[in-house]
Amino acid sequence: MSDTKQQLEKLLADSVLALATADETGLRELEVRLLGRKGEVNRVLGAMGALDVAGRAELGAAVNAAKNELERAIARRRQELSFELSSALAENDWIDTTEPGTVAAAGHLHPSNAAINEMSALFERIGFRRARYREAEFDHYAFEALNMPKDHPARDDWETFFIDAPEDKKMGKQVLTPHTSNAQNREMERRRPPIKMVAFGKCYRRQSDVTHLVMFHQFEGLVVDKGISLAHLRGALDHFAKNYFGTERVTRLRPHHFKFTEPSFEVDISCGLCNGTGKVGGVSCRVCKSGWLELGGAGMVHPNVLKAGGVDPKIYSGFAFGWGLERTMMMRAGMNIPDIRLIYNNDKRFLDQF
State pLDDT tens for residues 290-332.
888 888 899 999 999 999 999 999 999 999 999 989 888 888 8
Map out the domains of the chain as residue ranges: 2-87, 111-351
How would DSSP label each residue in 38-93? TSHHHHHGGGGGGS-HHHHHHHHHHHHHHHHHHHHHHHHHHHHHHHHHHHHHHHHS
pTM of the model: 0.67
Give the three-class secondary structure for 257.
strand
Q: In CATH, which superfamily holds the domain spanning 111-351?
A: Bira Bifunctional Protein; Domain 2 (3.30.930.10)
pLDDT surpasses 60 at 238: yes
The pLDDT of residue 90 is 65
Element (H, E) at 32: helix 24-35
What is the tens place of the pLDDT at every residue in 112-148?
999 999 999 999 999 999 999 989 999 999 999 998 8
Give the three-class secondary structure for 176.
strand
Indicate the pLDDT class of residue 150, thresholds 50, 70 and 90.
confident
The pLDDT of residue 58 is 72
Indicate the pLDDT class of residue 264, thresholds 50, 70 and 90.
very high
Residue 11 class from Cβ within 10 Å (0-12 exposed, 13-18 middle, 19+ buried)? middle
